Chains A and B, each alone.
Chain A
Amino acid sequence: MADPTLLDRHLVFVAGKGGAGKSTVTAALALLAARAGKRVLVCEVNAPQPRIAALLGAEGPVDAPGPRELLPGLHALNVLPAAAMHEYGLMVLRFRAVTHAVFENRLIRYFLRAIPSLAELVVLGKILHEARSRGPKGPRWDLVLVDAPATGHAIQLLRVPSALLDAVPAGPLRHDAEWMERLLVDPVQTAVALVTLPEETPVNEAIELDAQVRGVLGMSRAGLFVNAVPATRLAPAEVAALAGARDAPPPLGPAVRAATLASIRAEEARRHVGRLRAALDLPTTLLPLVPSVGWGPRQVEAVAGAIARAWQGGEEAAWTSCWGAG
């Protein structure tokens, strides 16, 4: 059973290989948290085309400068380096006029763009700043969910504070790196959720990512989501009994081939889930394959439902209720 405390954390980075379904899982988790009455902020990181709003069926401008409310209690923000840089400058330098004087200076703009990792630092800084920002009645957000960049870039992003602590002497930059690092490695507040697919390379990458999260980043992990796990319709014995009909003329041949392919995929998926369980000591949630290519609110709703069922009654229950009818 998956860890029900994932949504009780304050800051969760959803990380994994590109195309594994990070955005979908992020959107589904946000939906569940908002329905549980939490004030949720979803952060996308420098997304060329922000996806969370579309996944949740919200219309309107995708690149609002501040958090935009998509659903009651659910905000989203695309954190862009240039905007984050300016905002960071404003915080450090305190006064708008001063910030402008600095940022409008052509040489300085050029220079800031060139400092290694400064873009990552301000992007991460903006996210962490949101996570600890407070309103009149306590924290502004109950949960900040980050749709993290693909594996390598996520590690690079999350490594910036500790890398700066190694490279930068005392000063404002170091001071910021210190509080950022403290927040990242605080297991009560912050965690990484891993998303992967039940396939060879994504599973290997998830295992490596997990090792890096623990070893390089020293961050807590909140759980593992295995996305697009194909359902088993026919028993292996039934597939075997039908083998002779694979080349039969339509309609039988194609139907048997579709069933055979589905069965092979399900078997492979089971094997890879087994590898994940053996390698990672993490609460694991299996999410059923939703047979569609386009992704929108309907699919996110299906994934959120599967997560909720898994958290309530274990994976098998989620499985049956998701596929029993179909």
Chain B
Amino acid sequence: MDILLGGRMMLGPPDPRLAPGQARPPAPALAATSVRAQLAGRRIAVCVGPGGVGKTTTAAALALAGAVEGGRALVCTIDPARRLANALGLTALGNVEARIPAARLEAAGLQAKGELWAMMLDVKRTWDDLVSRNAPDPARRDRILGNRLYQQMSSALAGSQEYMAMEKLHELAMERDYDLIVLDTPPTAHALDFLDAPNRILDFLGNDAARAFLAPALGAGRFGLRLAQLSGAYAARMLARFTGQQALADLGEFLQSFQGMYDGFKTRAAAVRALLGRPEVGFVLVTAPNELAIAEVLAFQERLAAERMPVAGLVVNRLTPDLWTGDAPLPAPAELAAVLPGTALDRDRLPALLAAGLAEHQDLVRGERAALAPVLARVVGACAMVPRLETDVHDLAGLARLSAWL
């Protein structure tokens, strides 16, 4: 791991592929700043970013750092890789927080002044809890929990995961006394889907238009006839042709069962939304230096700014360390041959391979820095630069090493 630490983070213009020995433009150094420092004094960190950039590990490392420094820190993960889940003791637990025993932290060489807690979001159970909490009586609760449309919605509906992540965050923020809650968010197909998901689902549950269509049919059994009596009946008849009348009737019953609970849901979603705008929250954008992730994180940046969400900073994971700083040209094979140690080595083959390897490495470095430039130009708050770690972070010691970069 140590050989990684020598790299300085550089930002440079894109260049075409240059042969070894050719001059490359010098690159200005880029200072990394501490996202953890930005989070000090905030109670909630929300890690957002595209899939596959190390969001879950970053969230876990931030919580671990919080626990090491003192205080009770919780990481709420969405879908952790199995070995990380094991490291956090999340193997059998669903939807409840569990403390990582101090002994395990000590075994990993960590002296934590505080406590580290972890949980894994269970979307279905969060939905069920929400319904139980809002249902006016047990009969209504059971009617909803038993409805097949509800069952499908609570596990498979697009946006459901995002909605429940926000819902859980609200519960944790309001009803527990953690000093730091770090929320990992689902990898969204579109920037900040989770900000819109609650409203989309609530629109559906509280859809007065739908209820107006469907409610009269309930109990009548003659759905089509009743619809025909409504204004807009023509359009409604066409809609029934679209979905089938029985499906509409089912849907009507489902929406009916939510009647009266809608306001509770709506109030709650508004509270979650308000919570996310408070200064005690810090969004942490997580990305990696590849084209796709960078395009997505730019969209996230824009959206967070438009929504005036409090941003704590940016974490760039998996940076290739810059091994050739300064403006000297990269070495030609002959230069390397002249300084190659030892006699057992293949002196014909090795210099060319080493020169090519270094040139390729530096091409990657320059390409990454160039691709990151538009994101870095718009950073709000801190900007942590994490080099590519050669082994995946999947244990507490690995998380601690990662957190040192944050």
Could you say which residues of chain B place their CB within 8 Å of the CB of A292? 363-364, 367
| B293, A258: Cβ atoms closer than 8 Å | no
| B357, A233: Cβ atoms closer than 8 Å | yes
Chain B binder among A56-64, A69-77, A168-176: A168-176
Q: For the complex, count residues of B whose C-beta is within 8 A of A.
A: 92
With A19-B290, A156-B158 in contact, do A242 and B345 touch (Cβ < 8 Å)? yes
CA–CA, A166 and B190, complex, Å = 28
Tally of A-B Cβ pairs under 8 angstroms? 235
Could you say which residues of chain B place their CB within 8 Å of the CB of A112? 239
User: B15-46: which have CB < 8 Å to A?
Assistant: none
CA–CA, A257 and B392, complex, Å = 19
CA–CA, A199 and B318, complex, Å = 12
Could you say which residues of chain B place their CB within 8 Å of the CB of A234? 350, 353-354, 357
Chain B binder among A25-33, A99-107, A178-186, A300-308: A99-107
* Chain A interface SS verdict (over half): helix
Q: A252 within 8 Å of B by Cβ?
A: yes
| B186, A19: Cβ atoms closer than 8 Å | no
User: A187-205: which have CB < 8 Å to B?
Assistant: 199-202, 204-205
Could you say which residues of chain A place their CB within 8 Å of the CB of B158? 116-117, 119-120, 153, 156
Min Cβ gap B98→A in Å is: 22
Q: For the complex, count residues of A whose C-beta is within 8 A of B.
A: 82
CA–CA, A223 and B78, complex, Å = 28
| A291, B360: Cβ atoms closer than 8 Å | yes
CA–CA, A174 and B299, complex, Å = 37
Could you say which residues of chain B place their CB within 8 Å of the CB of A261? 3-4, 321, 361, 390
User: A232-277: which have CB < 8 Å to B?
Assistant: 233-234, 238, 241-242, 244-246, 248, 250-252, 254-262, 264-265, 268
Point out the residue from A150, A169, A245, A258 that lies within 8 Å of B357, measured CB to CB: A258
Q: B260 within 8 Å of A by Cβ?
A: no
| A293, B291: Cβ atoms closer than 8 Å | yes
| B243, A171: Cβ atoms closer than 8 Å | yes
Q: B356 within 8 Å of A by Cβ?
A: yes
| A251, B356: Cβ atoms closer than 8 Å | no
CA–CA, A283 and B370, complex, Å = 37
Q: B6 within 8 Å of A by Cβ?
A: yes
| A258, B51: Cβ atoms closer than 8 Å | no
Q: B111 within 8 Å of A by Cβ?
A: no
User: B284-303: which have CB < 8 Å to A?
Assistant: 288-293, 295, 299
Point out the residue from B156, B203, B345 that lies within 8 Å of A114, measured CB to CB: B203
| B81, A105: Cβ atoms closer than 8 Å | no
Q: B271 within 8 Å of A by Cβ?
A: no
Could you say which residues of chain A place their CB within 8 Å of the CB of B14? 294
Among residues of B, the one whose C-beta sits closest to the C-beta of A18 is B51
With A102-B242, A152-B187, A238-B345 in contact, do A168 and B207 touch (Cβ < 8 Å)? no
CA–CA, A171 and B392, complex, Å = 49
Q: Which of B4, B81, B190, B371 has the most CB of A within 10 A?
A: B81
Chain A binder among B100-108, B273-281, B304-312, B335-343: B335-343
| B328, A150: Cβ atoms closer than 8 Å | no
Q: B226 within 8 Å of A by Cβ?
A: no
Min Cβ gap A104→B in Å is: 9
Q: B52 within 8 Å of A by Cβ?
A: yes
With A111-B239, A262-B361 in contact, do A168 and B244 touch (Cβ < 8 Å)? yes
CA–CA, A244 and B149, complex, Å = 65
Q: B91 within 8 Å of A by Cβ?
A: no
With A173-B244, A234-B353 in contact, do A295 and B392 touch (Cβ < 8 Å)? no
Q: B200 within 8 Å of A by Cβ?
A: yes
Q: B235 within 8 Å of A by Cβ?
A: yes
Could you say which residues of chain B place their CB within 8 Å of the CB of A102? 235, 238-239, 242
Encoded as 1 (CB less than 8 Å from any B CB) or 0, chain A from 200 to 234 comes to 11101100000000000000000000000000011
| A262, B153: Cβ atoms closer than 8 Å | no
Could you say which residues of chain A place their CB within 8 Å of the CB of B53? 19
Point out the residue from B50, B213, B339, B367 that lies within 8 Å of A18, measured CB to CB: B50
| B241, A93: Cβ atoms closer than 8 Å | yes
CA–CA, A233 and B293, complex, Å = 29
Q: A7 within 8 Å of B by Cβ?
A: no
Would you list 24 pairs from A and B whose C-beta atoms are within 8 A, ordered by A residue? A19-B290, A49-B295, A102-B238, A102-B242, A105-B232, A110-B207, A111-B213, A113-B200, A115-B243, A116-B204, A149-B189, A166-B148, A167-B151, A234-B357, A238-B350, A242-B341, A251-B331, A252-B340, A257-B323, A260-B3, A261-B390, A293-B290, A293-B291, A293-B371
